[in-house]
Amino acid sequence: MDRPDALEVSGLTVQLAGQAVLEDFSLSLEAGRKALLTGPSGCGKSTVLRCLLGFVVPQAGAVHIAGQTLTADTVWRLRRHIAYVAQEPDLGAGIVRDILERPFHYHANTALRGNLARAPELFDAFALARSLLDKEIGDLSGGEKQRVALVSALLLDRDIFLLDEVTSALDPASKRKVIDHLRSRTEATMLFVAHDAESFPFADSVIEMQGGTT
């Protein structure tokens, strides 16, 4: 039996405040594949991610995660497949080490608590000083926050990663480090959002959006 696509979006139409944001938008992404969603500001890229997470309910169309339809009844269960990192991640307040531990306080993640031991290794991979683990989140730069959010997402061992402009605040050297690591995650399905089509050269496909459509 064929394995279902990790992500499938069909005929999405979204209107926000009376304005069409997406119109009959579709995409599919097989498990383990990487895709880049690109296009000008306001074309609906981030709205696609919010639909996949169930934060935005479309007026028409359907979303399937790992072959299951996303509905009000399935959204919490299906989100366990997904790690999402925003362009400007809201990490809350506190020490970085404590921020990384918070997701493992939830029952759904307690069995993965041992993954926290990988945090220093990921800090090295992303050119983050290990001393940042004991710093306040509020003292971090925008680029450091982006990389800490990526570390937090990776520690949860999700199947699917939705990554919204996650290298936008990074210097070229740090960006290369992040890209090299994400490239090495061959088993994970990844959907990137970026203005620059060259941002993720290892993507298997590039989906160019114009005004809510491809």
pLDDT digits (tens, 9 = 90+) for 93-136: 999 999 999 999 998 899 999 999 999 999 999 999 999 999 99
192 alpha-carbon distance from chain centroid: 7
Query: Residue 185: which domain range?
Result: 7-208
Does the residue 213 lie in any domain? no
Residues 12-48: pLDDT tens digits? 999 988 888 999 999 999 999 999 999 888 889 999 9
pTM value is: 0.92
- pLDDT-derived band at 182 (thresholds 50, 70, 90) equals very high
Q: What is the mean pLDDT of residues 67-91?
A: 94
CATH (domain of 92): 3.40.50.300
212 alpha-carbon distance from chain centroid: 19
Query: What CA–CA distance (Å, rounded) separates 196 from 39?
Result: 8
Does the residue 141 lie in any domain? yes
The total number of structural domains that make up the chain: 1
